[in-house]
Structure 1
Amino acid sequence: MSAFSNKISLLENENEKLQAELCFLKNQNLPSTYQDLRNTITQLQVNLNGRDQQALLNDLEVSGIPENINESVQHIVVAVAAKLGTQLEESEIVSACRVGNSQRLSNLNTQALGSPTRHRRIVVRLSRRVIRDEMLRNARVRRGATAAVLGLPSHEPRPFYLNERLTSTNRQLFGKAHDIGSLNWKYIWTKEGRIFARQSDSSKIHQLRSIADIERIFGVSSENSSK
């Protein structure tokens, strides 16, 4: 656990250095061209985002699990792991909590059965990456598994989903890539916190690191596509 904490501290220190360098460049009247400066800043932002993503390599997100008053999120995570065929002890969970905009909890338990209530996702950090990777693999094999046997209060069974936890920047990039590329690109996915796209089974795999990559690879303007 101490080695994991030291790794996180090291990444945080590197992030602070990159942020300082980025702020310095933004405030300098450099003799380079505007495009050169823009490219440099973009690359620094990509590097900074990459460091942030490395700090999340032991994390995953669970969505689609009904939220209830007095719930034990750790117990839910253990039950989800068991449902997927992974043995997980609560002691192997570093942290687990709901994130996102919350509704009044009093309303959650009074929703009619079958209500389209959107429950907050669960963010989990595990002590070992190998456990996280096993859960993600098993979730792909058992795609469509529901929360029906997780011991939760009565609810209409719906599928739950496990995904890698992404930085805010990567979440936005993945969402935009999916919106723009979904019509003409067959595959858009994430692996180890990185975003990839492939137009067909025989075409080249592209990694998407920035909005500029999306515009260049998909051949469209992200601003125009969002109008």
Structure 2
Amino acid sequence: MGTQSKEEIVKVLKNLNSGLNEEDIKVRSILSKSDMKPFIVTFNNKDTRDKVLLKRKDRGNLNSKNMHLEGVERNIYINEDLPIEVQKLFRKARELRGIGYKYVWVKNGLVFCRAGESSKPVMLKNMEHVDQLKQE
């Protein structure tokens, strides 16, 4: 999350109507040269995390204005914290969007793609799997 403080994080989560309390999360900041320091938010249980991610998806683009935060308007991002291997696979999988795959996403640490609304999701296992789909 690119917000400034734990208080703002709690306010964003409450504005998402996630039903969270401050005790439901642990917040740690990441060292950054930017004025907008990212935070890692750890949830006490998976259901709470899933609820926040779903609410974020339903709400669309988040910014400080629509989350009722003070100061200059800025975007707010809420994403899963992924292991490096999954980040790399997701980055490579997004190349599939240029060759007929409409959707590429991550859920529960797994990378998926889908050609269209009616097609079945494909779980991407590794980089070679992405390369194979690119050649089809």
Question: Aligning the two structures, in what range does the TM-score lie when normalised by the shorter sequence?
Answer: 0.7 to 0.9
Out of 4, 20, 28, the position equivalent to 1:97 is 28
Partners of 1:143 and 1:151 in 2: CA distance: 17
In structure 2, the residue matched to 1:163 is 79
* RMSD, aligned α-carbons: 2.1
1:146 paired residue among 63, 88, 98: 63
- TM-fit CA distance, 1:216: 1.3
Is this contact kept in 2: 1:188–1:197, CA < 8 A? yes
Tell me the CA shift for residue 144 of structure 1: 1.6
Partner Cα distance (1:120, 1:188) in 2: 27
Structure 2, unaligned runs of 5 or more: none
* Counterpart Cα distance in 1 of 2:92 and 2:37: 21
Does 1:135 find its partner at 2:52?
A: yes
Q: Secondary structure at the match of 1:183?
A: helix
* In 2, Cα distance between equivalents of 1:121 and 1:82: 19
Q: Is 1:84 aligned to residue 84 of structure 2?
A: no
Specify the alignment match of 2:40 in structure 1.
123
Q: CA deviation at 1:150?
A: 4.7
Q: Measure the CA separation in 2 of the matches of 1:212 and 1:172.
A: 12
Structure 1 runs of 4+ with >3 Å offset: 149-152
Q: How far off is 1:218 after superposition?
A: 2.1
SS at match of 1:163: coil
Aligned residue in 2 for 1:190: 106
2:90 and 2:37 mapped to 1: Cα distance?
A: 19
Paired AA for residue 188 in structure 1:
V
The 3-state SS of whatever aligns with 2:10 is: helix
Q: Deviations over 1:21-57 (max 9, x none)?
A: xxxxxxxxxxxxxxxxxxxxxxxxxxxxxxxxxxxxx
SS at match of 2:74: coil
TM-score by length of 2: 0.84
Following superposition, the deviation at residue 199 of structure 1 comes to 1.6
Give the % identical residues.
25
Alignment: residue pair count: 134
Q: Following the alignment from structure 2 to structure 1, what is the Cα–Cα distance between the partners of residues 24 and 120?
A: 38
How does the TM-score come out when normalised to structure 1?
Answer: 0.53
Question: Structure 1, residues 176-196: CA drift from partner, whole Å, max 9, x if none?
Answer: 111x21212101011111100
Q: Is the 8 A contact 1:139 1:161 kept in 2?
A: no
* Structure possessing the higher radius of gyration over alpha carbons: 1
| Residue aligned with 1:162, SS | coil
Unaligned residue ranges in structure 1 (runs of 5+): 1-61, 109-118, 221-227
Deviations 1:152-173 (A, max 9, x none): 4x21x13322222211110111
- Compare the two structures and name the one with the higher helix fraction: 1
SS of the residue corresponding to residue 96 of structure 1 reads strand
Higher relative contact order (CA 8 A, sep 6+): 1
2: CA distance between counterparts of 1:163 and 1:214?
A: 22
